Amino acid sequence: MGFRLSWIAFGDTSLEVAAEAFGLAVGEGTAEMPEFDASGLALDGWSLLIFDRVNDRLTKAEEISHLSAGRDVIVVHVNETVMYVSAERWRDGVRVWSVSHDSDKGGRHLEVEGAPPAEFAVLREKWFTEQDAQKDDPFRADYVFEIPVELAELDTGYRHDSSGWDMVELVSTAPAEPTKGFFARLRSIF
């Protein structure tokens, strides 16, 4: 098992405003790691929303373009069960760069679009060297997976698999569905 999550970081946006874009509000729960359906985290210049599953809204370019209007956003998808990861940066509705790794397409698979930051070349060299060094090891790790993760971490300071964060629970602002009583549920059966 491993992490399966999506997160989005809003630059220069309060956590409350970022959460509101997803119909969420800051709740009362706190944690050091993402333990809720949706967690929030405020870091230096960034407000992060971390979802404990792949968030469909964050897979659609039109949606991310809208969310990034007037600001920078970074979107990351992590699925360690199949060793897939992607990170992308958007600014004012336009994708600046995108880097993804899918181990099903090979241990050295890395898809790059746009112009990643200068640190990308250093990370690529470092992790490809590590990957190649264990070429004959049947229990080799997937080091290329680290490249998108570390690119996002360089900007935001957040890494999904580290702890010690001051996360808050994010709760839905949608009105709760009324609960049917026993007899109403029984009538609906017949």
Q: What residues does each domain of the chain span?
A: 4-174
Average pLDDT over the chain, rounded to an integer = 92
Q: How far is CA 9 from CA 3, 58, 90, 134, in A?
A: 18, 11, 10, 34
What would the mean pLDDT of 43-69 be, rounded to a whole number? Answer: 95
Helix (H, G, I), strand (E, B) or coil at 12: coil
Would you list the DSSP string of 138-156?
TT---GGGHHHHHHHHHHH
Q: Which long-range contacts (CB under 8 A, 24 or more apart) does 113-121 make?
A: 116/151, 117/151, 117/154, 117/155, 119/151, 119/154, 120/147, 120/151
**Quick check: 172 and 24 in contact, CB under 8 A?**
yes
48, 145, 186 from 190: Cα distances, Å: 47, 53, 7
pLDDT level of residue 67 (50, 70, 90 thresholds) = very high
Residue pLDDT, tens place only, 102-127: 999 988 999 999 999 999 999 999 99
Half-sphere exposure of 135 (CA within 13 A, CB side): 5
What is the number of other CB atoms lying within 10 angstroms of the CB of residue 108? 14
Computed over its alpha carbons, how large is the radius of gyration of the chain?
19
pLDDT in the model for residue 135: 80
Question: In the predicted model, what is the mean pLDDT of residues 34-50?
Answer: 95
